[in-house]
Structure formats: structure tokens, C-alpha cells
């Protein structure tokens, strides 16, 4: 009978340390947090050893980005007339206001991805239609 009482007491003690208990969770998380903080402190020490400094300066905002130059000089826009015509016709032909059509323009840098929608936007037929 003593062994039965002892085993039930052992079961009660063990049940307090299962993963469903807040005490065990707190202890486990405390250890993990301590390990993370220790690693962070080591990284800070290494950064100080190499004279690394934190730089929170933001990159300057450049209003005259290269992609905006295309429409400043319309005479320099070559090879986009047919593309512009296709996009303008698609926009003007769209009858359903509920289901708006979306056109994706993608490609390598410098191909005129920004210039094309600006050309379409500035087209007199598009301005008049919308």
C-alpha cells in the first residue's frame, strides 16, 4: 500500500512539470531567453572589438531619380509608341466598371517600365475618357 501511495505522489509531482503547466513553461522560456540574451551580448562585444558602429541615418530621398527622366524629353522616347497604343486601346475599350483590368509591366531596368504608364496617363484620349 505504501508503494501505491508513493507512486501516486510521484505521479502528482511529475504532473506538475508537464508541458501543459505554466511553471515548466516559464522555466523553459526563461532559460531560452537567457541563452538568446547571452548570444546578443557576445555579438555586441564582437562588434565593439571590430569598432563597428550602428548607423541609423536614412538614405537621402532623391526626387530626380533616373526613372523620371523619360517624360522630361519626349523626343527621346523611342520604341514605345506601339506599346502605348495597345495600352490606351485596352483602357478605352474597357466597358465594365465592376471588373477593372490590371496590366502588369515588368522587365529589366532601363526598358521604360515607368515611362510607358506615364505616356499612357498623359495621352489626351485617356485624360478625356477618365
Model pLDDT, residue 110: 82
What would the pLDDT profile of 77-86 be if each residue is shown by its tens digit?
Answer: 677 888 889 9
Examine the pLDDT at 100 and tell me if it is beyond 80: no
Model pLDDT, residue 41: 93
In whole angstroms, give the CA distance from residue 62 to residue 88.
Answer: 30
In the three-class reduction of DSSP (H, G, I as helix; E, B as strand; rest coil), residue 130 is classed as: coil
Examine the pLDDT at 65 and tell me if it is beyond 70: no
- Mean pLDDT, residues 36-58 taken together: 82
Model pLDDT, residue 128: 86
Per-residue cell: 95: 466597358
Examine the pLDDT at 60 and tell me if it is beyond 60: yes
- Our CA dihedral for 109, 110, 113, 114, rounded to 10 degrees, sits at 110
CB contact at 8 A, 124 and 92 = no
Per-residue cell: 27: 522555466
**How is 83-94 classified by DSSP, letter by letter?**
HHHHHHHHHHH-
Examine the pLDDT at 118 and tell me if it is beyond 50: yes
Amino acid at each position: 500500500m505504501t508503494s501505491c501511495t508513493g507512486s501516486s505522489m510521484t505521479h502528482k509531482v511529475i504532473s506538475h512539470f508537464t508541458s501543459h503547466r505554466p511553471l515548466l513553461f516559464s522555466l523553459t522560456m526563461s532559460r531560452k531567453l537567457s541563452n538568446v540574451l547571452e548570444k546578443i551580448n557576445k555579438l555586441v562585444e564582437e562588434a565593439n572589438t571590430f569598432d563597428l558602429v550602428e548607423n541609423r541615418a536614412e538614405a537621402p530621398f532623391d526626387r530626380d531619380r533616373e526613372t523620371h527622366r523619360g517624360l522630361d524629353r519626349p523626343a527621346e522616347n523611342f520604341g514605345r509608341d506601339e506599346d502605348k497604343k495597345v495600352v490606351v486601346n485596352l483602357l478605352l475599350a474597357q466597358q465594365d466598371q465592376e471588373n477593372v483590368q490590371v496590366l502588369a509591366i515588368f522587365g529589366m531596368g532601363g526598358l521604360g517600365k515607368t515611362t510607358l504608364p506615364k505616356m499612357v496617363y498623359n495621352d489626351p484620349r485617356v485624360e478625356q475618357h477618365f
